[in-house]
A and B are shown apart, each in its own frame.
Chain A
């Protein structure tokens, strides 16, 4: 069975601090996909990134960066110079690929609060 663990339930930082959100996953699949979604107070889940299991290159997008380490089954997310607008719940998810679409296994989420 697949499992995603986000050990940090809540994180609170002051604006401009860097913050890393941890994600550890378990799967027996050799091919899988990892995702991060952001859920602001409005409720919509916003797609941030998808990473496949064969690509361990780190990725940077503006203030966001992701560190995928297959050896430790981790896919951590770092926000550099955090801003108040980054306050949200962040979900890490693992995809089980099926012929009828993908089934996402979500972690429990990390509530990030960025204080001015």
Chain B
């Protein structure tokens, strides 16, 4: 089945220790998104890639970076995690075609704990 995969599902890191979250997709979608979701809140878009074009949200902290080495994979790097970065991180993909077809499909998420 075509899907969005996130690894690991649970990640524990130490305050200030860099961490990388991974997302892969078998949908062959052009667009990949990263969201941060804190407890009892709506997902918040951090950035997205349309193919290789990176689109950062204006309020995304510099501490968050992303890489997309190929169509299938996208990584979220947190350079120096703080306690406030503990959250669920959701990856999503969409075809990126004409407006009416662009539905985002989400992966299962990675829950990040910062000690």
Chain A residues proximal to chain B, CB less than 8 Å: 31, 33, 35, 37, 42-47, 50, 52, 91, 95, 97, 99-104, 106-109
Contact = CB atoms under 8 A, between A and B. Distances in A.
B103 A100 contact: no
Interface string B25-56: 00000110100000011110100101001010
Contact of B99 (A47, A97, A104): A97
Please report whether the interface of chain A is mostly helix, strand, loop or mixed according to DSSP. strand
B105 A101 contact: no
B96 A100 contact: yes
Contacts of A101: 30-31, 33, 48, 50, 55, 94, 96, 102
Interface stretch (B13-21, B62-70, B76-84, B106-114): B106-114
Interface of B: 30-31, 33, 40-43, 45, 48, 50, 53, 55, 88, 90, 92, 94, 96, 99-100, 102-109, 111
Nearest to B29: A101
A104 B53 contact: no
B53 A100 contact: yes
A33 B106 contact: no
13 contacts: A43-B90, A43-B109, A43-B111, A44-B108, A45-B90, A47-B104, A99-B50, A101-B33, A102-B99, A103-B45, A104-B104, A106-B42, A109-B40
A109 B44 CA distance: 13
Among B42, B96, B100, B111: residue with most chain A CB under 10 A: B42
Contacts of B102: 33, 95, 97, 101-102
Contacts of B55: 100-101
Given A33-B99, A43-B88, A108 B48 contact: no
Contacts of A103: 45
Contacts of A95: 102
